[in-house]
Amino acid sequence: MSTANYNMHYKDQPEVAESSRQSNLWFLPTPSPIRVAAAVQALTPYEAVSSQAVVDACPDQRNSFKLDWNESTIAPSPMVTQAIAQAVTSGRGLNWYPSLGSVELIDGLAGYTGIGREHFLITNGSDDALSLICTTFLDQGDEVVVPVPTYNHFVVFAQSRGATIRTVQGFDPFASDLEGLRAQLSANTRLLYLVSPNNPTGVVYHPEEIEVLCREFPNTLIVLDEAYFEFAQITGIGLVERYPNLIVTRTFSKAFGLAGLRVGYLAAHSELIGGLSRLYNPKSVNALGQIGAVAALKDLDYLNAYLKEVLQAKEILRTFFAERGVEAYITPANFVVVRVPNVAQTLVQLESRSVYVRDRSSYPGLGGCLRMSVGTVEQTNRLLERLQDIF
């Protein structure tokens, strides 16, 4: 052992521990590679393909269209940026832990959603909520039913628990098939994952439909992912007050434009909150994220103006694709799905014009499909100049 250096002033260049040259540990075996947990070894990892690096490298960001991750295409409300700037320069200080349990944000959400404070947990993005749900409620071998195509990241979290995933595919991926879904559910179904509006198809589940499922399958935990709620304005969140087998997840990443801050939440019956709280990390949402989300909820005019832009932009796209006879699905969320004869060729054409979309052609029922986020009217009109000679 070398003598430790007790000088408390750190240097710019850290002293890296050298592996002992004259090792006296030769008689012990060399460590072997550490095995990944069986369930993690067996899962299909989430494929994080993003245009981010290319777009960041572009000198004029206005000149490229990052439409591959369904993010908001504009900056968040100026109130968000101001609140964060103020917090950094004169606030509580970054040396302190964030507000435990995000108390002020929960107050804001109670006002925003109209349900009681006791129903919320704030999470580090809604992905974190989905992960917490799987860890809290799933055991090895539990049956999880997932209508596909849908948001795959949830499936990864469920698989990591060793759950058995049962996918349900309807005849038409762009229409909900409640009958087909019910036929696949049973008293043995531990969890049902529904996304509404669904990513990437836009399929919506109405609260009356969710309520029927909650009643009909009382042993099943229904997880309703409403990441795109704001765009469709159809929600089952009010049901969590009555049904102890429903969790709704939402996010500030999409309509509120705060994807970089990582703030999401879940709303559930108090009994479920009790279970989730056993494992919930009360400091997982960073202080600036909380401040930004609180400020965003105070500027709903800004949110509504953006929602209106996206609605109008979707109509512009609808007309554009209809005129050209292109098979396009204008979803109730902030993205459209377009079916093209040659995916690879269209992707190259789009990228050569700095338009980045998501290839969804490998998803069940979505052969030839590309998904594209929708932004403001002004952005969409500029986008169409580039799409004109492709479609």
Nearest distance, CB of residue 150 and ligand PLP, angstroms: 7
Among 29-37, 121-129, 284-292, 363-371, the segment contacting ligand PLP (CB under 6 A): 121-129
State which of residues 159, 235, 253, 334 lies at the interface with ligand PLP (CB under 6 A).
253
CA–CA separation, 384 and 255 (whole Å):
22
Nearer to ligand PLP by C-beta: 224 or 387? 224
Nearest distance, CB of residue 264 and ligand PLP, angstroms: 4
CA–CA separation, 360 and 146 (whole Å):
17
Q: Which secondary structure element, helix H or strand E, spans residue 120, and what is its range? A: strand 120-123
Rule CB under 6 A: say whether 251 interacts with ligand PLP.
yes
Nearer to ligand PLP by C-beta: 329 or 387? 329
Nearer to ligand PLP by C-beta: 77 or 199? 199
Among 50-58, 72-80, 119-127, 374-382, the segment contacting ligand PLP (CB under 6 A): 119-127
Residues 126-145 interacting with ligand PLP (rule: CB under 6 A): 126-127
Q: Where are the beta strands (DSSP E) in 246-384?
A: 246-251, 264-268, 327-330, 335-339, 355-356, 358-359, 369-373
Question: Which residue(s) pair with 371 in the sheet?
Answer: 337, 358
Rule CB under 6 A: say whether 234 interacts with ligand PLP.
no
- Residue whose CB is nearest to ligand PLP in the complex, by number: 125
Nearest distance, CB of residue 258 and ligand PLP, angstroms: 9
Question: Which residue(s) pair with 92 in the sheet?
Answer: none
State which of residues 120, 151, 157, 193 lies at the interface with ligand PLP (CB under 6 A).
151
Among 33-41, 123-131, 281-289, 349-357, the segment contacting ligand PLP (CB under 6 A): 123-131
Q: Peptide bond preceding 31: is omega within 30 degrees of 0, i.e. cis?
A: no
Q: How many residues bind ligand PLP (CB under 6 A)?
A: 13
CA–CA separation, 180 and 126 (whole Å):
28
State which of residues 55, 259, 343, 390 lies at the interface with ligand PLP (CB under 6 A).
259
Nearest distance, CB of residue 197 and ligand PLP, angstroms: 9
Nearer to ligand PLP by C-beta: 195 or 248? 195
Nearer to ligand PLP by C-beta: 8 or 48? 48
CA–CA separation, 383 and 65 (whole Å):
8
CA-CA-CA-CA torsion sign (193, 137, 139, 158): positive
Nearer to ligand PLP by C-beta: 227 or 272? 227
Nearest distance, CB of residue 356 and ligand PLP, angstroms: 16
Rule CB under 6 A: say whether 195 interacts with ligand PLP.
yes
Residues 65-84 interacting with ligand PLP (rule: CB under 6 A): 70
Query: Dihedral angle at the C-alpha atoms of 77, 78, 79, 82, nearest 10 degrees?
Result: 140
Rule CB under 6 A: say whether 227 interacts with ligand PLP.
yes
**DSSP-assigned states of every residue in 10-26:** --SSPPPPPPPSS-S-T
Rule CB under 6 A: say whether 264 interacts with ligand PLP.
yes
**DSSP-assigned states of every residue in 356-368:** E-EE-TTSTT-TT
CA–CA separation, 211 and 231 (whole Å):
22
Instruction: Check if the beta carbon of residue 275 is closer than 8 Å to that of residue 342.
Output: no
Closest C-alpha among 46, 48, 195, 150 to residue 364: 150
270-277 helix and 126-137 helix, angle to the nearest 10 degrees: 90
Nearest distance, CB of residue 372 and ligand PLP, angstroms: 14
State the residues that interact with ligand PLP by CB under 6 A.
Answer: 70, 125-127, 151, 195, 199, 225, 227, 251, 253, 259, 264
